[in-house]
């Protein structure tokens, strides 16, 4: 079983929390029993989270060997310069070592993306901008650290793609069952991970009827 879930901001990627007071968890969203997160998404980030009951799939999605790209929409403080974008594309040196080159471009604010709850605190005297950023590794808070390293602190972070799956039509807190890959092979030299999916149709769970989960394409269409 493979589930696509739109994680809201300030929700943990787990089903229990022993801290006091307890923080919101995945248990509040009616997800199927026996699934758990394949990878992670920061507590204060939003967007696509894959959940499964298949341990091998969890390992594949999280392993650098399989090279699944992860795509984010990032609202940053400041205006990205050509030099800042070049540094992100070429790779940066963070406190835990150099990053791999990223795919990044400046974009307009995504019209389909609703305002965040709680709203982003934007300083009136400082401009903000949006980036589409794709990385092929998953260090702790990596995107936030990368943007900060080039002088563009992250204000809002929304993951919209993981490998062949994208966040289309799912509102925050909604989920849908997907056709899970039968096998996941290491990334080919062509640049695309080899993913064979079952032919059975994905079954819909609480989600907008007009939305689709479909393979992520760079232009978002």
For the annotated catalytic residues, the residue numbers are: 42
Backbone angles phi, psi at 70, to 5 degrees: -125, 125
| The token pair that represents 57 in the structure block | 């799939």
In the three-class reduction of DSSP (H, G, I as helix; E, B as strand; rest coil), residue 84 is classed as helix
Please provide the DSSP assignment of 18-36 as one string: -SSSPPP-GGGGTPPTT-E
Question: Cβ neighbours of residue 86 under 8 Å, at least 6 residues apart?
Answer: none
Backbone angles phi, psi at 41, to 5 degrees: -145, 130
Tell me which H or E stretch contains 62.
helix 55-62
| The token pair that represents 178 in the structure block | 């997907």
CA 25 vs CA 30, 35, 122, 142, 189: distances in Å:
11, 13, 27, 22, 39
Question: Cβ neighbours of residue 54 under 8 Å, at least 6 residues apart?
Answer: 1, 2, 180
């Amino acid at each position: 079983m493979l589930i696509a879930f739109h994680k809201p901001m300030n929700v943990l990627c787990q089903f229990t929390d022993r801290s006091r007071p307890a923080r919101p968890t995945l248990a509040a969203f009616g997800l199927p029993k026996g699934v758990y997160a394949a990878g992670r998404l920061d507590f204060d980030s939003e967007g696509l989270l894959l959940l499964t009951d298949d341990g091998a799939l969890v390992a594949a999605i999280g392993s650098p060997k399989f090279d699944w790209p992860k795509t984010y929409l990032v609202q940053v403080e400041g205006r990205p310069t050509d030099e800042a974008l070049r540094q992100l594309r070429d790779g940066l040196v963070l406190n835990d070592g150099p990053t791999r080159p990223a795919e990044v471009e400046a974009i307009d604010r995504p019209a389909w993306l609703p305002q965040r709850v709680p709203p982003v605190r934007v300083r009136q005297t400082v401009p903000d901008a949006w980036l589409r950023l794709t990385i092929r590794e998953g260090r702790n808070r990596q995107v936030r650290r990368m943007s900060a390293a080039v002088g563009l602190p992250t204000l809002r972070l929304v993951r919209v793609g993981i490998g062949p799956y994208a966040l289309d039509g799912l509102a925050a807190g909604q989920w849908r069952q997907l056709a899970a890959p039968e096998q996941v092979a290491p990334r080919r030299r062509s640049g695309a991970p080899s993913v064979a999916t079952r032919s059975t149709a994905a079954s819909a769970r609480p989600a907008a009827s007009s939305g689709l989960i479909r393979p992520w394409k760079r232009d978002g269409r």
